[in-house]
Amino acid sequence: MKAIKGNKAYTVNTAEEAKAFKAQGFDIYDDNGKIKEHALGKTVSLEKYEALEKENEKLKAENKKLKADGKDKE
């Protein structure tokens, strides 16, 4: 595993080390480079949150419509 924050990368050997790095703001990645755990205390900007909230509502409405269309065809 690796702990990565900005331009710093450290090899992580144990779960205890991973926990300590997470507390310091490092993301934990597996050996294949996929994120395993996010750092503690990360935040999302209000603009990004609102954009995601709008997209979520749009997708929920689209999903509801598609489900209704599927029931009509049965």
Residues 33-56, mean pLDDT to the nearest whole number: 93
Q: How many CB atoms lie under 10 A from the CB of residue 25?
A: 13
**Residue 51 — pLDDT band, cuts 50, 70, 90?**
very high
Here the tokens at position 62 are 């689209």
Task: Tell me the pLDDT tens digit for each residue of 17-35.
Answer: 999 999 999 999 999 999 9
